[in-house]
Structure 1
Amino acid sequence: MEKENPYLNVYLGSLKKPWADYCASIGKKPGAALKEAIERQLESANALTEPKTYQQTKPIPDKEPKVRFEILLTPSEKAALTKRAEVERCSQRRWVIDAIRAGLTNEAQFGMSEIEALGESNYQLLAIGRNLNQIARKLNEGDPDPIQTELIKGLRAIIDRHTHVVSTAIRASLERWDLE
């Protein structure tokens, strides 16, 4: 298979001198400036075809002022929103915010039933982790089988990582965050 040539040859004709003068005035080589222009053009084209996915950064303090935004819904949309918010045991405002955040971040925004299930999952996993610690302690007191001890420590590490991920997901869903 033939190797692709990374170079581009462009005939500028009478544009070469003005382009070289412009590049000199901004302190760039003509090739570097052209490459930047192409990159910006491609970024702009991608911005039109692929919407930006935002990421949650730092939590916003509750005291930070919010910006008012109003939407108008049809009666059927409002009724559906009311019903969905009731089913998910949250306010209509919270449901709309979660829907917007899910669309912007491509990350799940949990309703109260999911948060309760995740909280229960973490509670059970932490209890299992405590039991594993007790077993490991007993093994360490006697003549432990090193394979069993390492296996238990490995399980404990997996449980700790899982509970951290779940706790972070719950917190991200409940708290307001800056988006970038």
Structure 2
Amino acid sequence: MPDCSRPNRINIDLGPYKQRWVAYCALHQLTPSAAFRQVVAKLTENMATAGDAAAAPPTTRKHRKEIGLTDAELRFVEACAEAEGFSPTRWIIALIQARMGNGAQFGQFELAALGKSNLILLTIARQLRQIAGMQQGLAGGPMPELLPVVAEVRTRIANHTAEVAQAIARNIERWHGK
């Protein structure tokens, strides 16, 4: 029968490790319990800094709930879900997760925009390498061919920044009901 007076107690059968554990504890002048607490503290220290919620393992069990929607509510959910790249069920789940504090959930359109963003960033990086190469060849003054490359990079960065800002704003508006 478990000892209910000490709810933080853990009983472990160490099997073949018992003698080595006792020897380790004696060598370091620790009781087995104190040494075990040190091991647990070390193994969980990163989890503790993220907060108690992060320390608890996430629940993967799903619970099925049936909800009744009016025709207008169903049309609204379906329209929102379609416009934002979700199935109606996934849209409702994403809404719940956002309200639980798990952050805005990106739909398929936002994910596609982020994928496009990665391609744009790769292009920008390639162009910056070109600029760096041109700078190395600079001996007597500015190179006229450098100006259009820099202008294109600036335009791409500005367009990219605006697109990402719009995606973020759409997510904030969607999940906070504004």
The alignment's TM-score, normalised by the length of structure 2, stands at 0.40
- Tell which has more relative contact order, 1 or 2 (C-alpha 8 A, sep 6+): 1
